[in-house]
Structure 1
Amino acid sequence: EPRGSRGRKADYRAAGLGDCVNCSICVQVCPTGIDIRDGLQYECIGCGACIDACNQVMDKMAYPRGLIRYTSENAMRQSLSPEAARRRLLRPRVLIYSTVWLALVAGLAVSIALRAPLKVDVLRDRGALSREVEGRWIENVYRLQLINTTEAPMQVRVQANGHDLAGISIEYDPTAEALAPASNRLVPVRIRVPIEAAQPGTHKIDIAVTAEQGGHQVADVRQATSFIVPRNL
């Protein structure tokens, strides 16, 4: 708007002037040295020092506050007052966008709060589906992918349960029981069944992985897989 100096009691509207008295105090208080009267510039850090300085001058001149203010280009084009601009924040579009944004934030918070502290994937060793060991065991080899999703270390223990397999046992490196925070570890395991208890075919088994932190159990994950007994025993 047109700006210029004038007396406090002068009819500046008749002189074609706006509210700005061209005192340049807004430029003097700006820490980056820009002239906000030329519009928003990339050097602006949004500190609001020019707003406070301008409002003090408006008070002295008995003019309404808000010559320099936080607003939108649309509000400036329509010459909306600060109150009218704030009322436009309650438009349906803004409310819908706000609801969607809040739903996304709530979904993220819930997913973080309810995330599983331990994730387990069971992978069969494709190189050897089944083999005879020491003449008395049938052995299948698996690889467990253990993922600690928490920020604290945990102790894990792996067990195997055969629904129709008696004497099932599991072997793995005991050092794998220590799982570092936010880590991913691949653990080879060997599951064995006595030959006399193994009927040829494919048997359903469960691999259970329990995790403890500070002496308290925090996870109990069970994954179903298959145990293969060769038919040429």
Structure 2
Amino acid sequence: MAPVSMATLDISFKPERAHLRRPKRGVIAERVVPQAVRGRYRRLKWAALILCLTIYYILPFVRWERGPGQPGQAVLFDMERGRLYAFFIEIWPQEVYYLTGLLVLATLVLIWINAVAGRIWCGYFCPQTVWTDLFLLVERAIEGDRRERLKKRDAPLTVRRILEIGLKHAAWILVSMATGGAFVLYFADAPTLVGDMVTGRASAIAYAWVVILTGTTYVLAGFAREQVCTWMCPWPRLQGAIWDPEALTVNYRDYRGEPRGSAKKAAELRAKGEPAGDCVDCLQCVNVCPIGIDIREGPNFACINCGLCVDACDGVMAKLDRPRGLIDYEAWANIERERSGQPARRRVVRTKTVALGLAIVALAAAMGVGLALRGDAKIAVIHDRNPVAVRLSDGRTRNGYTVRLYNKADNERSFRLAVSGLTDAAIEVVGHDAAVSVASDATRELRVLVSSAEGERRSIAFVATDLASGRAVTAQDMFIPSEGGR
């Protein structure tokens, strides 16, 4: 593959191309007005939209039985109790590393998807894409398709036009309110919160977040659209580092389409034995693009791989009785191979994709095993900072610790504290006997003093044993001897 191919990747596209006109000097380009299109990839996008919106709006109302005193919502970010519930999984604040692992896993999956099919996530499942498609559906239903909307944009206002604009924005606001309202349902019991919000009994914070999310959805999906995908989202900026010429991305077969010309002109050139491309320069691929780029100019980081230009071009080729695929999901490396007369090679399975896939499986497996093997009790220890150690009158050294016991079970439990690693250790739980009770689904903080005649720094283990079951949990810390005493 010629190195110039990667060097010419561009993101500095001109959105005004989608309007077939350039703005006057000093005037900001008008936002993209994409045209509706039909085809296999448009149907896939509708299916993705329906799936994503169904999950988003229905999931808060799915029930999951966890036992007495536990929330019955399948997915819940319980801010009051500091818990994250996801069906059979319960994450405590002290287990935030699972969320960190989930973020790392999501990043690896996105990079793997990019290596296989470019920005396919952006084109089908990204929330910005889903809600932009929904807003465009409303806009087309009220104002008409691209040509009608462009005519109305420059036409003088009439009563009917004002009603159309008002109806469109009212529908957008309703969708935005439903979006913001559904989001807050993930942070409280959904049926209860819906009733409280309707009757005005919900908290001011709940209403504030609905307003904030309504505003952001309305602005981003109604007005920012392609600007979010191109300039606000960091993903296009990463394409320079992770772009893969073997990934199945939307590309234009320029060796087949050039030189461009009308169907009549192409027929005349071919009759004369002169070269003529299949592209008739109809600009349908540009008109349907939600980002407003011209894929015929070469690979572009702003392309979200939605495939709408493929549908538009295939429709034109079908009408002209020419083979489909002038614009298609194809690896850029294959475009160059075909241009030079070499056969195309699909290399979805290669070192990069296999390595990323194995990393995803390994991380997911590690997190799954960790969740499966974790217990319903935990102990955490923090050594005192000042003083680190105290010399007692009998010559022994005493260290102080803050010990926190976690009881994740549904019943109250009693634990007996002990310390190992010191031959003559004496442990004192301030204000308690060695046995300490911890309420169900709660934590308890204890002040613990450990004394010993040891004169060397030693690693010790705090052991909390459940008196009912005999199971024990441990936490490591240090015992530090006094240096001169106090």
TM tier, shorter chain?
0.5 to 0.7
For 2:470 and 2:366, how far apart are their aligned partners in 1? 21
Distance 1:121 1:70, change over 3 A: same
Are 1:105 and 2:360 matched, yes or no? yes
Counterpart in 2 of 1:84? 344
Backbone CA RMSD of aligned residues: 4.9
Indicate the structure whose relative CO is greater, using CA pairs within 8 Å and at least 6 residues apart.
2
Q: In the TM superposition, what is the alpha-carbon distance from 1:55 to its structure 2 partner?
A: 0.5
1:72 aligns with one of 331, 334, 356? 331
Give a deviation string over 1:174-210, Cα, whole Å, max 9, x none. Answer: 79x68x99x9x98641146xxxxxxx84399752135
- Does the CA contact (< 8 Å) of 1:141 and 1:188 recur in 2? no
Distance 1:84 1:10, change over 3 A: same
Q: In the TM superposition, what is the alpha-carbon distance from 1:6 to its structure 2 partner?
A: 2.1
Runs of 4+ in 1 over 6 A off after TM superposition: 215-219
Counterpart in 1 of 2:278? 19
Name the stretch that deviates more: 31-40 or 138-147.
138-147
Distance 1:107 1:60, change over 3 A: same
Equivalent runs, 1:4-83 vs 2, <5 Å: 4-7=261-264, 10=267, 13=270, 14-79=273-338
Give a deviation string over 1:123-164, Cα, whole Å, max 9, x none. Answer: 47764344259xxxx77233246597x9xxx98956125786
Q: In the TM superposition, what is the alpha-carbon distance from 1:68 to its structure 2 partner?
A: 0.7
Distance 1:68 1:12, change over 3 A: farther
Distance 1:44 1:17, change over 3 A: same
For 2:471 and 2:282, how far apart are their aligned partners in 1? 67
Name the stretch that deviates more: 2-11 or 70-79.
2-11
For 1:112 and 1:139, how far apart are their aligned partners in 2? 41
- Does the CA contact (< 8 Å) of 2:461 and 2:474 recur in 1? no
Q: Secondary structure at the match of 1:50?
A: helix
- Does the CA contact (< 8 Å) of 2:379 and 2:475 recur in 1? no
Distance 1:147 1:53, change over 3 A: farther
Task: Please tell me the residue identity of whatever aligns with 2:357.
Answer: L
For 1:20 and 1:122, how far apart are their aligned partners in 2? 71
For 2:299 and 2:388, how far apart are their aligned partners in 1? 67
Q: In the TM superposition, what is the alpha-carbon distance from 1:20 to its structure 2 partner?
A: 0.9
For 2:305 and 2:403, how far apart are their aligned partners in 1? 49
Equivalent runs, 1:1-233 vs 2, <5 Å: 1-7=258-264, 10=267, 13=270, 14-79=273-338, 84-85=344-345, 87-90=346-349, 94=350, 96-113=351-368, 114=370, 118=378, 120-121=380-381, 123=383, 127-132=388-393, 140-144=398-402, 157=415, 159-161=417-419, 168-172=426-430, 188-191=447-450, 201-202=453-454, 206-209=461-464, 220-221=473-474, 223=476
For 1:7 and 1:210, how far apart are their aligned partners in 2? 87
- Does the CA contact (< 8 Å) of 2:389 and 2:400 recur in 1? no
Give a deviation string over 1:68-103, Cα, whole Å, max 9, x none. Answer: 12333322221179x934x3334xxx1x32332223
**Between Structure 1 and Structure 2, whose CA radius of gyration is higher?**
1
Q: In the TM superposition, what is the alpha-carbon distance from 1:67 to its structure 2 partner?
A: 0.6
Q: Secondary structure at the match of 2:263?
A: coil
For 1:11 and 1:119, how far apart are their aligned partners in 2? 83
- Does the CA contact (< 8 Å) of 1:160 and 1:191 recur in 2? no
- Structure 2 spans left out of the alignment, 5+ residues: 1-257, 482-486
Task: Please tell me the residue identity of whatever aligns with 1:220.
Answer: V
TM (norm. structure 1) is 0.59
| Percent identity of paired positions between Structure 1 and Structure 2 | 28
- Structure 1 spans left out of the alignment, 5+ residues: 193-199, 229-233
For 2:291 and 2:478, how far apart are their aligned partners in 1? 66
For 2:310 and 2:453, how far apart are their aligned partners in 1? 81
- Does the CA contact (< 8 Å) of 2:284 and 2:312 recur in 1? yes
Task: Please tell me the residue identity of whatever aligns with 2:392.
Answer: R
- Does the CA contact (< 8 Å) of 1:158 and 1:209 recur in 2? yes
Q: In the TM superposition, what is the alpha-carbon distance from 1:25 to its structure 2 partner?
A: 1.9
Distance 1:106 1:190, change over 3 A: same
Name the stretch that deviates more: 104-113 or 115-124.
115-124
Q: In the TM superposition, what is the alpha-carbon distance from 1:21 to its structure 2 partner?
A: 1.9
Counterpart in 2 of 1:197? none
- Does the CA contact (< 8 Å) of 1:169 and 1:191 recur in 2? yes
For 1:32 and 1:156, how far apart are their aligned partners in 2? 61
Greater helix content = 2
Greater strand content = 1
Q: How many residues align?
A: 202
